[in-house]
Amino acid sequence: MHSTKLEAITRIIESFGKSGADEVEIVEGSLRIRLRRFAGGPVEAAAVDAALGESAMEAAKPSQGGTPAAVPAPMHGVFHRAPAPGAEPFVSVGSKVQVGQQLCILEAMKVFNAFASPRSGVVVAIHAENGADVMAGQALFTIEPEGAGA
């Protein structure tokens, strides 16, 4: 994402924090930002919609052709590795994943948001603990393209 876009998003978040609004959604082309204030909560509790996509997808691209890449959280929320307590996790270290395959659930404001892999490969690291509070942009997984480690 260009720094001018990041600066604009930062200004939007700051303005939202100073306003009395509970929710705002801004759509410009493929960029979509939705901010919600938790009841009595601070601005940093606002959620950036998973549809923001561009910054999360850019961050998930490898820096070089076959190198592992971090997959960041697209929004603030509670990280859930499995569909229910006691159930098997969606993925584990060593799991082969495809683009669009569900990796986890991010819970925000009692809404459970499925989070899918932006790339195919093998999960080489999981950076968040089950039930942990994660921030937008925080690395959740590292995925290495299949065959890159050989």
93-to-18, 66, 112, 119 alpha-carbon distances in Å: 42, 18, 23, 15
Q: What is the CATH number of domain 3-144?
A: 2.40.50.100
pTM value?
0.57
Query: What residue spans define the domains of the chain?
Result: 3-144
The pLDDT assigned to 74 comes to: 87
Mean pLDDT to the nearest integer, 128-134: 94
Rounded Cα gap, residues 60 and 143, in angstroms: 9
pLDDT at 141 over 80: yes
The pLDDT assigned to 133 comes to: 94
CA terminus-to-terminus distance, the chain: 31
- Kindly report, residue by residue over 6-48, the tens digit of the pLDDT: 777 777 777 777 777 777 777 777 777 777 665 444 433 333 4
- Kindly report, residue by residue over 62-95, the tens digit of the pLDDT: 434 567 888 998 889 999 999 998 999 999 999 9
